[in-house]
Amino acid sequence: MARFQQEPERWEEAALTGVDVTPEALARRAQTGSLAAYAQLVALFEARLFNFILRRTGNWADAEELTQEAFVRAWERIDRYDDRWRFSTWLFTIGSRLAVSRHRSKRRTRSTDQLDLRQAALEDPVDAAERRESRSPTWELAARVLTESQHTALWLRYAEGLSMREIAHVMGKSQVSVRVTLFRARDQLAAHILRLYQERQRTGDRSDLPENIEVLLQAAGAGS
């Protein structure tokens, strides 16, 4: 995926290598006009934001376009960032709203084969490693059996580690609604995994089961 670009000649000193700073600290630097700090934010969150938007749109080209647009908008509105929120929450909120807008204007399409072919041809090795992990059997199963809202909430909670308050902010829901959505998502996923597990125990075929399924069953049922 093409990296975020804005006046490339001004990014020559965008290294800040060896400096251990938080995304929020980088965002505060970006608010003072530091393109170097913003370059690091792009490097930190590009693959994660792409994964999130791809799951919302189901379309590779749309996800690439909206990821870049989200970073452009975030840069243009960096002065509005409030560091009482994690930067990731603020950025994912922008990405979520763009995905919702695109979903309303274009019929959602998805082809796993096309995604895999384009991924093999276009992405760089670092992004590839992160995206392969995000498409683990567990998440692929979740994408098949949960609603978009349930899957989004589950992804933000367990893949991104957001709090209930942060998920509510990203999704534009109340915290109570998020808790209900997560409870139903875990319950539905656990029930589906249990059915698969029982069926595969009878047949001896575990080919489409997530790894460590006993642990997954316990975690899903526990509602943690």
Length of the chain: 224
| Assigned domain for 47 exists | yes
Distance CA 90, CA 96 (A): 10
- The parent domain of residue 71 ranges over 13-134
Task: Please state the domain count of the chain.
Answer: 2
- Are 181 and 154 members of one domain? yes
| Assigned domain for 172 exists | yes
**Helix (H, G, I), strand (E, B), or coil: what is residue 223?**
coil
CATH of the domain at 212: 1.10.10.10
| Assigned domain for 209 exists | yes
- Are 143 and 109 members of one domain? no
Q: Which position has the higher pLDDT, 41 or 194? A: 41
- Are 124 and 192 members of one domain? no
Q: Above 90 in pLDDT, residue 72?
A: yes
Q: How confident is the model at residue 122 (pLDDT cuts 50, 70, 90)?
A: very low
Assess contact for 2 and 24: CB atoms under 8 A. Answer: no
| Assigned domain for 8 exists | no
Distance CA 81, CA 8 (A): 24
Q: Which position has the higher pLDDT, 107 or 162? A: 162
| Assigned domain for 106 exists | yes
HEC string of 83-117? CCCCHHHHHHHHHHHHHHHHHHHCCCCCCHHHHHH
**Among 26-35, 119-128, 144-153, 208-217, where is mean pLDDT lowest?**
119-128
- Are 45 and 123 members of one domain? yes
The gap between the terminal CA atoms of the chain, to the nearest Å, is 34
Q: Above 70 in pLDDT, residue 198?
A: yes
Q: Above 50 in pLDDT, residue 10?
A: no
Of 91, 110, 134, which closes a domain?
134
| Assigned domain for 214 exists | yes
Of 83, 106, 134, which closes a domain?
134
Q: Above 60 in pLDDT, residue 120?
A: no
- Are 120 and 146 members of one domain? no
Overall average pLDDT of the 209-224 stretch: 50
CATH of the domain at 45: 1.10.1740.10
- Are 117 and 21 members of one domain? yes
- Are 34 and 130 members of one domain? yes
Of 79, 109, 134, which closes a domain?
134
